[in-house]
Amino acid sequence: MASPVILITGALTGIGRATAVAYARAGANVVVSGRHQDRGERLVEELGDLGAQAQFVKADVRFDAEVENLIDRAVERFGRIDVAYNNAGTEGSPGPVTEVTGEAYEATFDTNVRGTLLSLKHEFRVMRRQEGGGSVINASSTYGQMGFPDSTLYVGSKHAIIGITKAAALEGAPHGIRVNVVAPGFTQTAMYERVTGSDAVRGAVNSVLPMHRAGRPEEVAEAVMFLGSDKAAYVTGQTLTLDGGLMAGWPLFPAA
């Protein structure tokens, strides 16, 4: 496809931003979304400098009307949406299960789960009526496939995204819409800095990772671009994990 139209939520930082830049370099038309107008406009300028047609639409994915507006503005500008990357996410309020509150639940699930569902809803609305369908990629995590202490809400929300993806993949398949997950392991972004909190903790994490390093946002962007492309034309309902080997097993005996 000459210039596919890509839509990315939570695109102003980290993995979302790296994916927007990668798609811009590849010549795509890029719709970036987030909650900060000024930063969004600056990103559009940066993507324009890379040669892309780009547009920012302000949207908080927790709110149906804002997601609806995002999708409608994208179609108004570019006529279609070929790839949607539902990247917006939050670590919410990590803490022990004994301290879970309704507010902490909402702080995590409203963005990660409700936001993914609302995005899917409006993306499907467009992709079902356009020729060629489309590709949706949802953002889960290694936290969506295994447990971590003091993270029940985030772990639960990221597991939910994998289940939602499988169900949506079955609905989308007859209409040419593929739905997959990218599941990064620890990746060098602001979220990783916040969750780990210090160089000492990051060093401890690195020491147990099989590759002894966290991933880079650009490495996740490559996986999104693969799932969004025709190279993955027969891939749907799947999770592509980028974790440097974390989930392959426990490196109890250090590799020689």
Ligand X SMILES: NC(=O)c1ccc[n+]([C@@H]2O[C@H](COP(=O)([O-])OP(=O)(O)OC[C@H]3O[C@@H](n4cnc5c(N)ncnc54)[C@H](OP(=O)(O)O)[C@@H]3O)[C@@H](O)[C@H]2O)c1
Residue 15 touching ligand X (CB under 6 A): yes
Distance CA 178, CA 238 (A): 10
Of 19, 90, 135, 151, the one binding ligand X by CB under 6 A: 90
Burial of 137 from C-beta contacts in 10 A (0-12 / 13-18 / 19+) = buried
DSSP state of 167: H
Catalytic residue among 105, 154, 192, 234: 154
Binding segment for ligand X among 12-20, 50-58, 101-109, 233-241 (CB under 6 A)?
12-20
Check residue 189 for interaction with ligand X (CB under 6 A).
Answer: yes
Residue 152 φ/ψ, nearest 5 degrees: -60, -40
CA distance 239 to 244: 15
- Beta carbons of 219 and 242 less than 8 angstroms apart: yes
Stretch in the footprint of ligand X (CB under 6 A) among 60-68, 101-109, 221-229, 233-241: 60-68
Sheet holding 239-242: strands in order across? 54-58, 29-34, 5-8, 83-86, 134-139, 177-184, 239-242
Which tokens belong to 225? 């671009």
Q: Which is nearer to ligand X, 19 or 133 (CB)?
A: 19
Looking at 139, 162, 177, 232, which residue binds ligand X (CB under 6 A)? 139
User: Of 4, 10, 134, 244, which one interacts with ligand X (CB under 6 A)?
Assistant: 10
Single residue of 78, 85, 124, 186 touching ligand X by CB under 6 A: 186
Which strand (E) or helix (H) includes residue 56? Answer: strand 54-58
Catalytic, 23? Answer no
Among 6, 57, 61, 81, binds ligand X (CB under 6 A): 61
Q: Considering only residues 6, 7, 16, 155, which one is a binding residue for ligand X as defined by CB under 6 A?
A: 16
Buried b (16+ CB within 10 A) or exposed e, 146-173: eeeeebbbbbbbbbbbbebbeebbeebe
Near ligand X by CB under 6 A, which window of 4-12, 40-48, 99-107, 204-212? 4-12
Radius of gyration of the chain (CA): 18
Residues 115, 133, 156, 244: which binds ligand X (CB under 6 A)? 115
Q: Quote the least distance from Cβ 183 to ligand X, whole Å.
A: 7
How do 177-184 and 134-139 pair as beta strands? parallel
Q: How far is the CB of 255 from ligand X (least distance, A)?
A: 23
CB of 78 to ligand X, least distance (A): 20
Q: Applying CB under 6 A, does 111 fall inside the site for ligand X?
A: yes
With CB under 6 A as the rule, give the number of residues binding ligand X: 27
Token pair of 192 as six digits = 């990783």
Q: Which residues, 190 to 229, sit near ligand X by CB under 6 A?
A: 190-192
Task: Provide the binding-site residues for ligand X, judged by CB under 6 A.
Answer: 9-10, 12-16, 34-35, 60-62, 87-90, 111, 115, 139, 141, 184, 186-187, 189-192
Residue numbers annotated as active site = 154
